[in-house]
Amino acid sequence: MKLRIGTRGSPLALAQSRWVESRLKEIEPSLETELIVIKTSGDLFQNQSPKEAHEASLSPQGTKGLFVKEIEESLLKEDIDLAVHSAKDMPAQIPNGLHILAYPKRENPQDVFIGRGGILWKEIKPGQTIGTSSLRRQIQLKMAFPEVNAVPLRGNVDTRIKKLEEKSLDGIILAAAGLKRLGREIPSAHPIDLDAMVPAPGQGALAIESRVQDDLRLFSQILDHGPTRIAVEWEREFLKTLGGGCSTPLGAFAEIKTEGLEMRVFWSKEDGSRARHLKALCKDTSLRSSFIEDLARKVTA
C-alpha cells in the first residue's frame, strides 16, 4: 500500500507532514509514503504587499481556507490520498466527499510573545512596535496595551523571527506549537495567558484530511486523539456559527473540565471595535449547538 500525502512546502508544514508520515509507518511498517508539495493561494498571499493582503482579506472568502483550498482540490481529484493541515487554517465548511480522518494530540494552543532583549509580555510599554501575523492577535494586543503599535508580520516562522531584528521591532507574537514542531527552543518565548490572547480555533492541532470513501480506519483509530477532536470540533462550530470563511477576527479555545466543557472566545469587528472576551462552562455537552449559538450571540451583542 502507498499513501500520497499532500502538504504545503513551508518548513513548518513539511515538519508536520513528516511527523505524520513517521507515525503512519509506525502503525504499518510496510507502508510506502510520498510527500507531495502543493502551492496554495495562502503561500502567494504571504508574499503580497500589505495593501494587496488587506484587499484579499476583504474578499468573500477572506484569508480563511487559502492554505488548504488547492490541497483539498487535489484530494478530490485523487492526486493525493491524505492531506496534513494546521487545524487553524481549515475553513468551517469541508467540501463534500472529504472529512477529517484524525486530529492527533494537540500541542500547546497558546500564542507566545518574543521580546527584543528578553522583554516580557507584561513589560510592553506604550509606543513600542509589535509584529503580529493576524488581525485576531493585533486586536487582542491592543486590548491589553492600547498605546502600542501593532504591525503586520507575514512569512514563515524563521522569517518572522528574523524580522524581529531586521525591522527593529520590540517584539513579535507567534504560535507556540509552530516553534515546538520546528524544534526551535527560544528562551525569550513566553506563552501569553489565555485570558489575554484567545487562540484561533484549532490552533496547536493538526487535521489529517482524507476522502470519505477511502477505508483508512486503522490510521484513524491510532492517530485520532479523542479529547483533541472534541475540543477542536467545538471551536470549529463556533467559527461556523459566526460565518466561517469571513475575515472577522475571532478566537475560540475549548477545554474539557471535570464539570463539563469550558470555552473561551474572542470576537471583534474588523476595525477592532466592540472587541470582547467571554468564558463559559457547558455542563451538558449534549447541548453543544445551542450553547455555542448562545455564546456567539453574547460575544457579538
Domains and CATH numbers, the chain: 2-107+201-300 (3.40.190.10), 111-191 (3.40.190.10)
Q: What is the per-residue pLDDT for 49? A: 47
User: Would you say 71 and 40 are in contact if contact means Cβ atoms under 8 Å apart?
Assistant: yes
Cell of 160: 518572522
In the set 43, 79, 81, 89, the catalytic residue is 89
> Residue 238's CB: how many other CB atoms inside 10 A?
26
Q: What is the per-residue pLDDT for 63? A: 58
Q: Using H for helix, E for strand and C for coil, what is the string for the chain? A: CEEEEEECCCHHHHHHHHHHHHHHHHHCCCCEEEEEECCCHHHHHHCCCHHHHHHHHCCCCCCCCCCCHHHHHHHHCCCCCEEEEEHHHCCCCCCCCEEEEECCCCCCCCEEEEEHHHCCHHHCCCCCEEEECCHHHHHHHHHHCCCCEEEECCCCHHHHHHHHHHCCCCEEEEEHHHHHHCCCCCCCEEECCCCCCCCCCCCCCEEEEEECCCCCHHHHHHHCCHHHHHHHHHHHHHHHHCCCCCCCCEEEEEEEECCEEEEEEEECCCCCCCCEEEEEEECCHHHHHHHHHHHHHHHHC
Residue 81: active-site member: no
How far is 254 from 245, CA to CA, in rounded Å? 20
Give average pLDDT by consecutive 10-residue segment, the chain, 301 residues. Answer: 93 96 94 95 60 43 74 97 95 94 98 94 96 93 97 88 86 96 91 97 98 94 96 97 78 97 96 96 97 97 92
Q: What is the per-residue pLDDT for 244? A: 62
